């Protein structure tokens, strides 16, 4: 297996870096402070094709491969995790399921607006009493003439407040557990969809995390979708980007900051911290790139995606914590950004399946 980036991937990464450095990085602190991503930046991201990286051109996407998508999330997250997860949740949790499980009519109807960013996608699964335990979902649907009617509530929905296109998970009969669940493509401007609140959060504060009420929402029958999506690899890429961004800033700072007449990087204790950060990042990168390669080549990747997400998210927390330590007092100051990265990193150990859930998945597959 060759993990060397192709020439096309190298060109892509260089172009993304230019955009990130010029357009996203200067706004990262403001995005965190104002708790929102500017609409102008979202439009630019859409124009560049970041919202539809691996969506085929026939459905309005950029027609690239899955690895290109993972590289995009990684590079964007180096500067701004909020913007990284905007792209990741939109693509993996909304575009992905439609592309994988949608009918041809569904793909032609929904994917063009999603690929352009005209509509922002989200995935409405989590409820007050149903997180990892999907079988406990209370949101119900019933058949009524030419539509389905959905009633219930959802919480912690990334990208929800844009009220774009959502994949809603609901049950016809809760006693059936997983077998009673179905997915629906829902226009979140439909009557009966209510945004209850956007959460105030520790990190990824520019990303909307929304609670919804669903009161008799009518969905056309042709909008029933099927299976659920899988976003572990892309969240792993987000975590990887956060860690890489923190290391880059730490290296730059320790080379510029002087103590006792020499740069901090010359002190063995500091260089050892930087070395440990780098090792953990590279370990996580290999797992993520391998999981992406497996998915791209239609091979089984459930265990690999769990390992990649587990490793990268815990690496992000470790690296950003040490980045603050390396910066000393300045690491606690917003201007130096690593404190924001530390706050952003923690959520990657929680959403798309906690670290504990990833370990359970891996353990079960080892002894199956």
Active site residue ranges: 352
- HSE-CB at 169 with a 13 A cutoff on CA atoms is 29
Distance (Å) of CA 259 to CA 114, 256, 296, 318:
51, 10, 48, 25
In DSSP terms, which residues pair with 258 in a beta bridge?
263
Residues 331, 256 contacting (CB under 8 angstroms)? no
- Name the nearest CA neighbour of 166 among 233, 234, 217: 217
- Name the nearest CA neighbour of 289 among 1, 90, 28, 86: 1
> Integer distance in angstroms from the first to the last C-alpha of the chain?
26
In Å, the largest CA–CA distance within the chain is 79
In whole angstroms, give the CA distance from residue 224 to residue 226: 6
What angle separates helix 302-327 from helix 355-367, to the nearest 10 degrees?
Answer: 140
Distance (Å) of CA 99 to CA 219, 228, 284, 334:
19, 12, 27, 40
- Burial tier of 39 (Cβ tally within 10 Å: 0-12, 13-18, 19+): exposed
Residue 38's CB is within 10 A of a number of other CB atoms, namely 15
What secondary structure, in 3-state letters, does 135-188 show? HHCCCEEEEECCEEEEEEEEEEEECHHHCCEEEEEEECCHHHHHHHEEEEEEEC
Cα angle vertex 1, ends 97, 99, to 5°? Answer: 10
């Amino acid at each position: 297996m060759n993990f060397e980036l192709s020439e096309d991937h190298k060109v892509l990464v260089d172009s993304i870096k230019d955009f990130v450095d010029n357009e996203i990085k200067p706004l990262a602190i403001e995005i965190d402070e104002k708790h929102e991503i500017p609409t102008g930046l979202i439009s630019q991201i859409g124009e560049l094709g970041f919202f539809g990286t691996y969506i085929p051109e026939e459905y309005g996407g950029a027609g690239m491969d899955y690895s290109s998508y993972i590289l995009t999330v990684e590079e964007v997250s180096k500067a701004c995790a909020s913007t990284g997860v905007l792209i990741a949740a939109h693509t993996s949790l909304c575009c992905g399921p439609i592309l994988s499980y949608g009918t041809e009519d569904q793909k032609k109807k929904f994917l063009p607006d999603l690929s352009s960013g005209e509509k922002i996608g989200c995935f409405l699964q989590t409820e007050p009493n149903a997180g990892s335990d999907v079988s406990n979902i209370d949101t119900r649907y019933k058949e009524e003439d030419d539509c389905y009617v959905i009633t219930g509530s959802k919480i912690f929905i990334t990208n929800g407040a844009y009220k774009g296109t959502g994949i809603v998970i609901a049950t016809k009969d809760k006693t059936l557990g997983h077998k009673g669940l179905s997915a629906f493509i829902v226009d979140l401007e439909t009557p009966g969809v209510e945004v209850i609140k956007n959460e105030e959060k520790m990190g990824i504060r520019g990303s909307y995390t929304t609670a919804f009420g669903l009161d008799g929402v009518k969905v056309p029958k042709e909008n029933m979708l099927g299976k659920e999506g899988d976003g572990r690899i892309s969240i792993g890429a987000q975590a990887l980007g956060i860690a890489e961004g923190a290391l880059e800033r730490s290296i730059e700072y320790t080379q510029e900051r002087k103590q006792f007449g020499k740069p901090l990087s010359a002190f063995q204790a500091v260089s050892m911290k930087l070395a440990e950060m780098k090792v953990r990042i590279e370990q996580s990168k290999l797992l993520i790139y391998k999981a992406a390669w497996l998915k791209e080549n239609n091979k089984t990747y459930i265990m690999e995606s769990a390992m990649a997400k587990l490793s990268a998210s815990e690496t992000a927390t470790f690296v950003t914590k040490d980045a603050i330590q390396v910066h000393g007092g300045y690491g606690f100051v917003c201007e130096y950004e690593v404190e924001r990265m530390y706050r952003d990193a923690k959520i990657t150990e929680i959403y798309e399946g906690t670290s504990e859930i990833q370990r359970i998945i891996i353990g079960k597959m080892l002894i199956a």
